[in-house]
Amino acid sequence: MNGAEAAVRTLQSRGVEILFGLCGDTTLPLYEALHDLDHGMRHVLTRDERSASFMADAYARFSGKVGVCEAPSGGGALYVLPGLAEANASSVPVVCITSDIDQSEAGRGTLTELDQVALFRPVTKWTHMPSRASEVPRSLKKAFRLAMSGALGATHVNLSFDVQTGDATGFERPAHVHDSGYPLSRAAPDAELVRRAARILSDASRPLIIAGAGVLRSGAWEELTALAHALGAPVATSISGKGSIAEIDPYALGVIGSNGGLPYRHEMLRKADVLLYVGCAQGSVTTEKWTLPKDREKRIVQLDIDPARIGHNYETEVGLCGDARTGLEILVEMVGSIGPKVDPEEIERRRHEFLESVEAFHSDETPIRPERFLAELLPRLPDDAVLCVDPGTGCPYVSAYHRLPRAGRWFVSPRAHGALGYALPAVCGAYFARPDAGRVVGIMGDGSFGISCGELETMVRLALPVTLIVFNNRGYGWIKAGQKVRGGKYYSVDFSDSDHAAIARAFGLKARRVENPAEIALALEEGLSSKGPYLLDVVTQPLEEARAPVSKWIA
């Protein structure tokens, strides 16, 4: 058995079901092993290494298992970095395998030579290049273990050509398959600290819970909901934490922060006297650059798996280091049932009043108002629809106005680095993670579409029953809106109108361009029921003219 075959058997032993990647000269031995061995894994050929890493990221988020991608040396290693950076900073477990030149050729100007360990170190938890074929199984096992442990993240293993072809004698195929589900273990916070936190929350007059992606990674939405009801406390979320509670729950407040947060939600947060952060990094967006709230303005309890995050941005009265589900289970038991601290009717009344003030939901104007499009789309989504939303135009609107009917991971938008071009390939990863979902939907701007549209071929080749929605406003709208705030010095942000539906049809998709609000309903009926991939090109109001739920623009 050679090193490449040992790598395939090790992936099989970790319970890997799907592998996203793109071929290259230095990866030939790995592909030969994938071809020859009966391993049961599916390889998805992508059109771009970046897309492979985004697919693995989305697969990991929606499946609850480690996402795996592979890429060749040189340019391939460079192109795969964006998805790993996003996954690692978002605590998403992804394992990336790259190939490399023969070790004997290093330092001689060999084509595609790079110091991959140095290249990947800033964007992964761990990166390693085994020097012998016999080291491959141990290296890959460690990559999986680290990706799934503690603060989850991305890991990287670099297989040189000679390691792939070298003798891996002594490798013993495991007798059983290890589940690649995460987290690998669940640490409990200190019991005395939990008792202190429970007393603070129980004594609060208006407690409020802020949930981040850590709740979703831990699968802790039932425990979070139970605590909210026991305390009678509203639950706000970060964008990445959307789904930590069903957003139709009477205590669900919705997304807060500068992107997708709404004024009435922020007012309720400011009225709170005690805040409980659960699995939330307290980053600049969720906290409006640490003014929502200001430091030392509230009593704060924080539960997080990473000790380095506790008290990092806010003075914290009690810091609980542990798994979100385990910590919340203990908190629920210690808090007991107190009764409503906040009347849930207050939440519903404030929500209703705000939505009634948004006239654009009913607008017949053209270009189509994004709010009007969402008013047509959201009621038509199945309860178990999965949404992948790029960080541009779609993110604030969907974050603010879509009420997830179920708790859990049903929505993803890349919030660590905000890379455009995520949603289109992420839809592929999401589909393989949730093939039984009511519908997998990708929402993106035209700038994002232009970056990743090569993966339309992948969707057609694989006949994926997914729906893509492009907000077409002929420019990098987010940046143009920012230029408006800074005095309207518009520069190099506009591009010509593209018929994205025609582009999609050229790849083999069914597609439709929508320019009038009266056309939206029929287009959505077609797009959401299509047996194969379908794209809607929706000509929408330029973002710099819109009233998007973004704090600095509204202000």
Band (pLDDT 50/70/90 cuts) for residue 338 is confident
pLDDT tens, residue by residue, 360-375? 999 999 999 999 999 9
The span from the first CA to the last CA of the chain, in angstroms, equals 64
pLDDT tens, residue by residue, 189-231? 999 999 999 999 999 999 999 999 999 999 999 999 999 999 9
Checking if the pLDDT of 119 tops 80, the result is yes
Q: Positive or negative CA dihedral for 34, 35, 37, 40? A: positive
pLDDT score at 339: 74
Helices (H) and strands (E) in the chain, counts: 23, 18
Distance, in Å, from the CA atom of 362 to the CA atom of 371, rounded to the nearest integer, reads 8
pLDDT score at 337: 79
- Helical H runs in 295-393? 324-335, 344-356, 370-377
pLDDT tens, residue by residue, 139-175? 999 999 999 999 999 999 999 999 999 999 877 766 6
The amino acid at 449:
F
Class of residue 496 by CB neighbours under 10 A (exposed 0-12, middle 13-18, buried 19+): exposed
pLDDT score at 175: 64
Which pair of tokens denotes residue 45? 């050929």
By residue count, the chain amounts to 555
Phi, psi (rounded to 5 degrees) for 51: -60, -40
Class of residue 14 by CB neighbours under 10 A (exposed 0-12, middle 13-18, buried 19+): buried
Checking if the pLDDT of 555 tops 80, the result is no
pLDDT score at 545: 95
Band (pLDDT 50/70/90 cuts) for residue 336 is confident
Q: Give the pLDDT mean for 416-443.
A: 97
Which pair of tokens denotes residue 437? 């979902």
Among residues 17, 30, 39, 43, which one has the least CA distance to residue 73?
30
- This prediction has a pTM of 0.97
Angle at 153 between CA 130 and CA 459, to 5 degrees: 95
Band (pLDDT 50/70/90 cuts) for residue 178 is confident
